[in-house]
């Protein structure tokens, strides 16, 4: 098999940002820069001619903005992936969520300050894991084309139940870890959770501050249960989904005063380069709920959540993983599946049903 190369088109109306992106990508293994554009209209012409695998896409541009480019890619059912630039503002977060709905693979926040070298370092730390994930995806797609039966075998239309010897209790809480592809996946999952599910849900979605608040507002508007960004010290109620705020760690603990379970937000260090971290949440769920809990691991890059799920499994919790076919990136679910701690592997479309099964 030939070595896989990711062809990248850079689209930004700022010459400085185009220089930052190009300087970083030029030294990335497996990346070939096939052009640049300073607005969406020029970008579409180049997309049609050079057929890039990836577009690094600014949102706010003259003549045609990034959202219009994404709408074109979706309308044409293009195989070109897009990573969008976002700004650290409330409006920037809202627009970023719309970009993800339109099919953007992920986003990177634009640096707000610092010199050129510092901004290049920030961009490099954000883009490299995404490039690695897209290269792996292209490698798999290439293998599928070369071996047609492999694609057929990978399609899963129903959950896979992995035999386990442990007896599981009815769950009293559900904890979810999710990253790349998460906003779209959650927008499909949470509306299917019934209003009277009777338990709380705790969600770690890897996102910066402000973005998680916008996500909670959006998900609340389309869900039957309450969805909110968690607040430090608040008591936990059923029929509510609590999203960990970006830039904070979230755990569940027992209140020293009332003895009831509360949410605690901390400034503890990142785990797996993540803050919030699924591992951090899952450990607290294992301690507070034990075998009366369900751990869910969904689409995302990296391996955050694996160690925490091991703790939950050791306590007798049920573990559910999203299947590879329905993941935007099959990173976070892969390791728990390989470790043999997963009870159910399910497509996204049936995830809500499997969660409810553990509760009822």
Residue 175 gets the label, from left (phi > 0), alpha (psi -120 to 50) or beta, of: beta
Give the active site residues. Answer: 179, 206, 304
H-type alpha helices, 26-156 = 40-50, 66-75, 90-101, 116-146, 148-154
Q: Do the beta carbons of residue 295 and residue 282 sit within 8 Å?
A: yes
- 166: helix, coil or strand? coil
What is the number of alpha carbons within 13 Å of residue 162 lying toward its C-beta?
Answer: 17
* Contact indicator for 295, 268 with CB cutoff of 8 Å: no
**Residue 112, class by beta-carbon neighbours within 10 Å (0-12 exposed, 13-18 middle, 19+ buried)?**
exposed
Rg (C-alpha) for the chain, rounded Å, is: 21
DSSP state for residue 1 in the 8-state scheme: -
CA distances from 183 to 44, 79, 94, 322 (A): 26, 20, 12, 15
Q: 236 to each of 75, 169, 220, 241, 318, how far by Cα in Å?
A: 42, 20, 17, 10, 21
Residues 6+ apart with CB under 8 A from 127: 21, 24, 25, 28, 56, 83, 108
Max Cα separation, the chain? Answer: 66
Q: Is 9 in contact with 43 (CB distance < 8 Å)?
A: yes
The answer to whether the beta carbons of residues 119 and 236 sit under 8 Å apart is no
Closest to 183 measured CA to CA, from 151, 144, 161, 214: 214
């Amino acid at each position: 098999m030939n070595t896989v190369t990711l062809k990248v088109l850079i689209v930004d109306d700022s010459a400085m940002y185009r220089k930052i992106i190009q300087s970083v990508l030029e030294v990335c293994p497996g990346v070939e820069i096939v052009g640049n554009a300073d607005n969406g209209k020029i970008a579409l012409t180049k997309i049609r001619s050079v057929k890039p695998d990836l577009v690094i896409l600014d949102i706010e541009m003259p003549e045609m903005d990034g959202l219009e480019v994404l709408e074109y890619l979706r309308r044409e059912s293009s195989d070109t992936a897009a990573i969008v630039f976002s700004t650290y503002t409330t409006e920037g977060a809202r627009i970023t969520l719309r970009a993800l709905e339109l099919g953007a693979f992920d986003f990177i926040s634009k640096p707000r300050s610092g010199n050129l070298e510092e901004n290049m370092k920030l961009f490099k730390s954000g883009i490299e894991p995404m490039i690695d994930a897209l290269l792996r995806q292209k490698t798999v797609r290439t293998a599928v084309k070369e071996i047609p039966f492999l694609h057929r075998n990978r399609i899963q239309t129903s959950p896979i139940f992995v035999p386990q010897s442990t007896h599981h209790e009815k769950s009293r809480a559900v904890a979810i870890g999710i990253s790349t592809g998460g906003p779209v996946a959650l927008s499909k999952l949470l509306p299917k959770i019934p209003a009277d599910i009777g338990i709380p849900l705790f969600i770690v979605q890897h996102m910066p501050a402000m973005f998680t608040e916008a996500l909670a507002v959006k998900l609340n508007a389309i869900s039957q249960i309450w969805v909110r960004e968690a607040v430090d010290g608040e008591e936990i109620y059923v029929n509510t989904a609590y999203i960990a705020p970006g830039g904070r760690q979230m755990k569940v603990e027992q209140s020293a005063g009332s003895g009831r379970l509360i949410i605690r937000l901390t400034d503890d260090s990142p785990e797996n380069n993540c803050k919030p971290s699924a591992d951090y949440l899952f450990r607290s769920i294992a301690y507070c709920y034990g075998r009366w809990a369900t751990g869910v691991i969904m689409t995302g890059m990296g391996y955050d959540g694996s160690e925490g799920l091991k703790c939950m499994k050791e306590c007798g919790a049920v573990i559910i993983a999203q299947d590879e076919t329905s993941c935007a990136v099959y990173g976070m679910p892969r390791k728990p599946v390989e470790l043999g701690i997963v009870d159910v592997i399910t497509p996204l479309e049936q995830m809500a049903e499997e969660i409810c099964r553990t509760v009822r």
